[in-house]
Structure 1
């Protein structure tokens, strides 16, 4: 069953021109005249309940965009969503312990070919079939790979993904408490690997906040993203607009920096890295959230362009006031030339777990505890 609901949080998307013209003038920026419409669709769960407590943090979309796989932490299941019929198709169940165990707390889940899954946790990592059977153990200790020399506290499964040709594994190990990251390239068959320095991503480490008090400990770290799109890796983080592209077929690493006109290229200033009270925590967090933040890259097959969302929270007069944000949309050519940027004036909330399907932007929304998406149709 498909439901269409009015969606009151307006969000927009856009397209683009060429970098050379964009750098000289905004006149060719087709984001300027963007119009769009938005509907909310809700997935029919039948008689089942889809656990949405983790949102779509652990989810993977099939290459043909027809199925979405969502790992639910409480039940250790993968909900298979038919994105054509907008219905829950089935649950795939996994064991926590034993020879086929995936561990208590799953950190990464990636859909592979033939409905296999790369799943990692603190305890284990492996490739599993749709029946929950581990068909391949994946070793992630530094000593398992020649050429890998990192600290033991640098988890090798952070943002772990397998290359589309299945030959390599990539991750972003680093000291969690310090916030810095490196790119790890692992070849399980040859038991060899390499660590590549990605210094532009160290910007995220400048904005780390740790709350330490008698009653609790909390830590905030800017998000670092690792994606494979078109047999190339893209590394980005929320503190800077800088993006690395790693072509693993050619062993080529390129850093892209962008001439933004509407926003700064990165967060600036200094913050207290360690605080001892909730009030201090809120004050330092506001320093960060009211600056520009950059989401991960989005690839649209229909327009053959990249997009990226930027967000900046507006200061609150009162702590209990709802959070409102300025939302920006950035557009890039396939070669990562910045070719469009726009402030979306009518948008006040950040799109969540976004992806493109059939030329439309899907953004996860919780509709009365049911799985829903805001679907944006735009006219450039």
Structure 2
């Protein structure tokens, strides 16, 4: 990732204060302007090893909180002054320990943070004190129960707010999915079936006597104005779940520049690494969809999609992986306003969000934290 971003910045940016504009073809003509900003870490070395997958934004987008797995601190980064403002200390072990199997952190409020593990969730205040801890695996919840073969998924399929936890539940036996809503005491569960069965066609397993490896498509849950927004990388379907009304709305749209879903058929269980790599690389050459992000200033959503156009060969030492990256712009009701190929992006964006009406895309430049900012003119 770092190599791509170095090349990307060198080709697009002359300096932090200068911008390049370029046009495109789309439903509505778009113009992009690009610049970059860097974060001043002071005397510290910011934790970038996870590509900001352990980071969380506060509601106003003024601060980025990044969990440092190396020293178990939260790096509090001021995005307005673009400086590391503080390091909040947490313990790894003991009564207030976050544990050593943390794979994600969520900022719940200005005072609370959740550390997600594979079998439990710990709630802490920002002074490092554990407020509560809840198991989420092999539990007999009140209300709807997890049946045999069901469990909460990981990665980007949890989210928190002050009242509840929302997560994606997969039934491995039935190959089906539900949305699970746990109330604030993590005891009462409500399950709502959701149509994500297509994800099962792109789950790959390498099963050999010496090694087991898995690859599976991602899904994402976010919250927007009372609705939970559920998306996945296999197709462009957007699901809106209203927890108060217990209603599920399905939004489909037809892209003008790409397919609306992955369509290939693959050998999902392989016995050699070569077969596994071939299948997983082939699926990357089909379109993949990222989660939409909300632009409060301009009252619209942005959604990236991408597909590989050049896969690295084992015979070639240098990295030659490239993707075509597309951007779709929606209004507040997810009606498509415009879509475009973003020619200056040759890899799928990593951690990104909207601040001050601009898309901020994480960049690791020689182990320094920066953001490429994309300003979009309709």
Q: What is the Cα-based RMSD across aligned positions, in Å?
A: 2.7
Which residue does the alignment assign to 2:168? Answer: 172
Paired residues of 2:352 and 2:362 also in contact (CA < 8 A): yes
Change (3 A) 1:198 1:48: same
* Secondary structure, counterpart of 1:174 in structure 2: strand
* Residue-pair matches, total: 359
Q: 5+ residue gaps in structure 2?
A: 1-6, 14-19
Deviation at 1:153, TM superposition (A): 5.9
Tell which has more relative contact order, 1 or 2 (C-alpha 8 A, sep 6+).
Answer: 1
How far apart, in 1, do the equivalents of 2:344 and 2:258 lie? Answer: 17
Maintained 8 Å contact 1:106/1:121: yes
Query: 2:63–2:77: 8 Å Cα contact kept in structure 1?
Result: yes
User: Aligned equivalents of 2:356 and 2:180: distance in 1?
Assistant: 33
| 2:304 aligned to which of 285, 305, 309 | 309
For 1:85, the equivalent position in structure 2 comes to: 81
Deviations along 1:81-139, whole A, 9 cap, x unmatched? 11011111122222223222222121331112223102221353121001111112334
1:293 alignment counterpart: 288
Q: What is residue 72 of structure 2 aligned with on the other side? A: 76
Taking the aligned partners of 2:289 and 2:100, their CA distance within structure 1 comes to: 31
Q: CA deviation at 1:317?
A: 7.2
Unaligned 5+ runs, structure 1:
15-25
SS at match of 1:138: strand
Q: Which secondary structure does the structure 2 equivalent of 1:279 belong to?
A: helix
Aligned counterpart for 1:44 among listed residues 30, 40, 44:
40
Shift of 1:251: 1.7
State the match for 1:23 in structure 2.
Answer: none
Deviation at 1:214, TM superposition (A): 3.9
Q: What SS does the aligned partner of 1:113 have?
A: coil
CA distance in 2, matches of 1:13, 1:216: 48
1:248 positional shift: 1.5
Report what 1:18 is aligned to: none
* Cα shift readout 1:187-224 (whole Å, capped 9, x = no counterpart): 2349322111112x221221111122344322111111
1:1-380 correspondence to structure 2 within 5 Å = 7-8=9-10, 29-30=27-28, 32=29, 34-141=30-137, 142-151=139-148, 154-155=151-152, 159-163=157-161, 166-175=162-171, 180-189=176-185, 191-199=187-195, 201-316=196-311, 318-319=313-314, 320=316, 321-380=319-378
SS at match of 2:290: strand
Q: Which digits, 9 at most, give the CA deviation of each residue in 1:134-177, with x for residues without a partner?
A: 112334353133222333661366632223xx222211122579
